Structures are given as structure tokens and as C-alpha cells.
Chains A and B, each alone.
Chain A
């Protein structure tokens, strides 16, 4: 059973702070990793993709991947109230073209 675990929430941070979201996965053969943001009542939207070990930065977002430790994280710098949403971690093991999603963590940014 391939699993993707996200730390339990909700997570609350003040405006301007760094929000750190973590995710671990069980399948060591996983190749591709994604972070999605989902606003209440809306569909998930892709915010970051990462495929190799290390950091990948895109604006205020940084994804970090450590395949040896089987975790992937998302850092949101200078958090804004508009970042308040549920964040989903997704892992593609490369088998059968399927993504496995974590249950998500709800982030609340306090003005």
C-alpha cells in the first residue's frame, strides 16, 4: 500500500511568517512530487512540482525534496491571508500513471 502522509493540522501562522508544510511517502521508488492548493469549494490547483533532491523556488514558494529520507516539504515565505487554503501533497511512483494524494493540511494565515 503506497502511502502519503501529511502532518495533521490545521496550521495557523501570522501574516508575514513562514509556513512549513511537510509530507512523507512510503514508496522509495517514487519519482515525481507535487504540491496543490485547494481553496474551499474549489478544485486543487498545482503550485509546485519537484523531481530531484534539493530545493526548488518559485516566488514565495520553495519545495524541498529528500529522497533518502522520503520526505517533501513546502515553505511559504511572507505568508498572506490569501494563502489560507488546504495544501495537498501528491506523489507519483511512476507505475500505472497514478498519483497518490495525502489528506491535506489546512493553513490559516492570521492578518
Chain B
């Protein structure tokens, strides 16, 4: 069966510091991968999605970036965090007519 791992679970970072969140999927090959952000009390905002290695589509221009160095690995990064980057970050796989399956998420607080 397919599983998705996302870490860390929580993160507190100062403004201006870098960020790296990692997500890996097991049990499937060439999955569509997604990064979403959920700000407090708000809906899910799609940040990036990828249909293959090295293929990244950005939905929202901002100071975040994503990379897919391996088939089942998706990384979300930032060189300098802003206060507005605080939120609940979710990695997911699936789509293309099938449902998305989410990881457990990373709660990021930028101080």
C-alpha cells in the first residue's frame, strides 16, 4: 500500500531563516505530488505541484520554491522566511481524477 511521509511535524523558525520541508512517498511510482498551505482558519492553498522528476508548476508567486530530485521525493524550500509563511504545510500525492492523499503535515511558525 501507498504511504506518504512528511517531516518535521512542527517547526519554529525566525524571520529571515531558510526552510526545507521534505516529503517522500512509498508504494507507487511516478506519482503526482503537491504542496499545499493552510493558514489559520483558512482553506487549502495549492503552492506547487509536480507530475515528474524536475517538473514543477508554481501556483502562487512568493518566496517559496519546490524541487523534485527523485521520483518519490518532493522538497519545499525558502531562502528567507517571512512572518506570512506561517501555516500548516501539507504534502499530497494522487490527483489526475483520483483523490489526493495527504501526509501528516508540518506546522510552521515563523517568529
Residues of A within 8 A of B (CB): 31-32, 34, 41-46, 49, 88, 90, 92, 94, 96-99, 101-104
B-side interface residues, number (CB < 8 Å): 22
* Nearest chain B residue, comparing its CB with the CB of A32: B97
Name the one of A31, A32, A92, A98 contacting B46, with C-beta atoms under 8 angstroms.
Answer: A98
B80 nearest CB across to chain A (Å)? 27
Chain A neighbourhood of B42, CB < 8 A: 103
Chain B neighbourhood of A32, CB < 8 A: 97-99
* A19 CA to B102 CA, complexed, in Å: 25
Given A98-B49, A104-B43, do A90 and B104 touch, yes or no (CB 8 Å)? Answer: no
Chain A neighbourhood of B103, CB < 8 A: 43
Is A90 in contact with B100, judged by CB distance below 8 angstroms?
A: yes
6 shortest A-B CB distances, which residue pairs? A103-B43, A97-B95, A43-B102, A97-B96, A101-B44, A43-B105
Chain B neighbourhood of A104, CB < 8 A: 43
B69 nearest CB across to chain A (Å)? 20
Chain B neighbourhood of A94, CB < 8 A: 97
Is A92 in contact with B101, judged by CB distance below 8 angstroms?
A: no
Is B96 in contact with A34, judged by CB distance below 8 angstroms?
A: no
Chain B neighbourhood of A103, CB < 8 A: 42-43
Q: List 27 A-B contacts (CB under 8 A).
A: A31-B97, A32-B98, A32-B99, A34-B99, A43-B90, A43-B103, A43-B104, A43-B105, A44-B90, A45-B102, A46-B99, A46-B101, A88-B43, A90-B99, A92-B95, A94-B97, A96-B49, A97-B32, A97-B51, A97-B96, A98-B34, A98-B46, A98-B95, A101-B43, A102-B43, A103-B42, A104-B43
Is A96 in contact with B57, judged by CB distance below 8 angstroms?
A: yes
Is A99 in contact with B95, judged by CB distance below 8 angstroms?
A: yes
Chain A neighbourhood of B95, CB < 8 A: 92, 97-99
Given A31-B97, A43-B90, A104-B43, do A97 and B49 touch, yes or no (CB 8 Å)? Answer: yes
Chain A neighbourhood of B96, CB < 8 A: 92, 97
